[in-house]
Amino acid sequence: DIKGEDLSRVKDIVRSGESLLDILNDLLDISKLEAGKLELEDIPFSPLRVVEDVVSVMAPRAKEKNLAIASFVESSLPTVLVGDPNRVRQILLNLVSNAVKFTHAGAVTIAISNRGERYGKTYLDMAVSDTGEGISDEARKKLFSPYAQGSVEVARKYGGTGLGLSICRFLADALGGEISLDSTVGVGSTFHLFITLPAGDVSGSP
């Protein structure tokens, strides 16, 4: 059995490995995106399942920090949508990962709402909210730029590549959507992914 100090060292090694893998994945993704070599799928998927996957992945990290993590999917949302579930999931994972990283007390919430339907397409607002430190107006100006972080202090304290939000922006553009931010320093932040997707056949959803 692994106990005490040995267990702590194992956890440190695992975290270091995960951080390195995250960095490598970010670098690969940004290279593909900047080169215009991103391939998108167009398949039926369940938006509820995508959200559940994100919560399942991020719940252990949230638990380590004693944070609550919750999700809400509006009942009027189509059960099946058509698009690239992996890229939608990737954006949400990046946003939720950041929210957990920069939140020290309270909760992180994913909420998907239906902003309306027209010509068989659904206008979605995928929002990730936190009760973290908030983001200043000055930091917002460079937040979505590659390799940029909110401040030198943030980079030193939290590490990372500064590519996560840039990747989210690239992916949102590729999906025909956009990302916006509402934030109040000392209160928290909400990132919105606005995207439009057609409804799909319930029988064909993965």
Apex 62 CA angle, 141 and 26, nearest 5: 50
* 29-to-9, 186, 206 alpha-carbon distances in Å: 30, 32, 24
Confidence of residue 2 (pLDDT cuts 50, 70, 90): low
Predicted TM-score (pTM) of this structure: 0.77
Residue with tokens 């993704």: 29
What is the rounded average pLDDT of the residues 92-109?
Answer: 92
Question: Quick one: average pLDDT of 58-74?
Answer: 93
Q: Can you give the pLDDT at residue 139?
A: 81
- The string of pLDDT tens digits covering residues 150-187 is 444 544 444 444 567 888 888 898 899 999 999 999 89
Which has more confidence, 9 or 69? Answer: 69
Question: Residue 38 in contact with residue 174, Cβ under 8 Å?
Answer: yes
Question: What percentage of the chain exceeds 70 in pLDDT?
Answer: 70
The mean predicted confidence, pLDDT, of the chain is 79
| Between 65 and 12, residue with greater pLDDT | 65
12-45 per-position pLDDT tens digit? 554 544 544 444 455 455 555 555 667 788 999 9
Backbone conformation region of residue 41, classed left if phi is above 0, alpha if psi is from -120 to 50, else beta: beta
Residue 142 pLDDT: 76
**Contact call for residues 45 and 85 (beta carbons, < 8 A):** yes
119-159 pLDDT, tens digit each? 889 999 999 999 998 888 888 877 776 545 544 454 444 44
Of 157, 80, 153, 165, nearest in space to 128 by CA = 165
Q: How far is CA 121 from CA 58, 63, 108, 118, in A?
A: 30, 37, 28, 5
Residue 28 is predicted with a pLDDT of: 54
User: How confident is the model at residue 36, as a pLDDT?
Assistant: 62
